[in-house]
Amino acid sequence: MENKTVLITGATSGIGEATAKLLAKNDFNLILCGRRAQKLEKLKAELSKSTKVTTLSFDVCNKTQVKEAFLKLAPIWKDIHILINNAGGAHGLDPIQTGKIEDWDAMIDSNLKGLLYVTHEVLPVMVKRKSGHIVNIGSIAGQEVYPNGNVYCASKFAVKALSNGMRIDLNSFGVKVTQISPGLVETEFSKVRFKGNEQKAKMPYKGITPLSGNDIAEIILYTVTRAHHVMIADIVVLPTAQASAGLVNRNP
């Protein structure tokens, strides 16, 4: 049986990069997507020792770039079996009354519209084949709202609604839809949220052992390797020190 092809957005760091490395070890062919072409090529060179790899460099927020990237995809890569919608992020941590519109736009564009743009390009082959698997990376912020989370939480609640809607609409086509919602994961996430402020970026993880990209990658691997008749619909995963979005047991 030919190895399955997986497309991963946001593959150049964090959860996306960890997932790419783990899936490469488990005989999946990889389409690695991201904005940083140089990092994509470096990762391709590393993982090509284990499996077949190609790359697409584009910004998920730009629907023209997304469409053009998929048009460039060689025919041998177009039969995508698994889509991992991982790209996204948080920008700022402001109360709604002082929030910045550019931050709101960035979160809605990447977390919601970007997911839709990429899914729109991948779905036709899955629907035609009557099989496939979409994995949407959500967040604990899509399960409960926390102070100053406002628009970020709204965008991740939308991902939850979309995942549920996709699962309903694609049911008759045999396409699985999984949402994975992590709590505190130590990646570049905080650096982006706090505009590169290293000190602030470390604060969410202070006094705890947070999740890692590898932890989420292992869960993704589990969901995409279940039997054909088994679909993992929704997973919330937290570090042991975290009981909810706002309750974290920090060691002194």
* Cα diameter, the chain: 56
DSSP 4: P
* CA–CA–CA angle 227, 230, 234 (5° rounding): 130
Active-site option among 117, 146, 152, 222:
152
Closest to 23 measured CA to CA, from 176, 219, 183? 219
Q: How far is CA 50 from each of CA 29, 162, 214, rounded to the nearest angstrom?
A: 9, 34, 18
Would residue 152 show up in a list of annotated catalytic residues for this protein? yes
- DSSP-derived 3-state class of residue 164: helix
Cα–Cα distance measured from residue 133 to residue 228, given in angstroms and rounded to the nearest whole number: 10
- DSSP-derived 3-state class of residue 122: helix
Closest to 54 measured CA to CA, from 27, 82, 75, 73? 73
Q: How far is CA 57 from each of CA 41, 133, 231, rounded to the nearest angstrom?
A: 10, 22, 30
The torsion region of residue 219 among left (phi > 0), alpha (psi -120 to 50) and beta comes to: alpha
Catalytically active residues, by annotation: 152
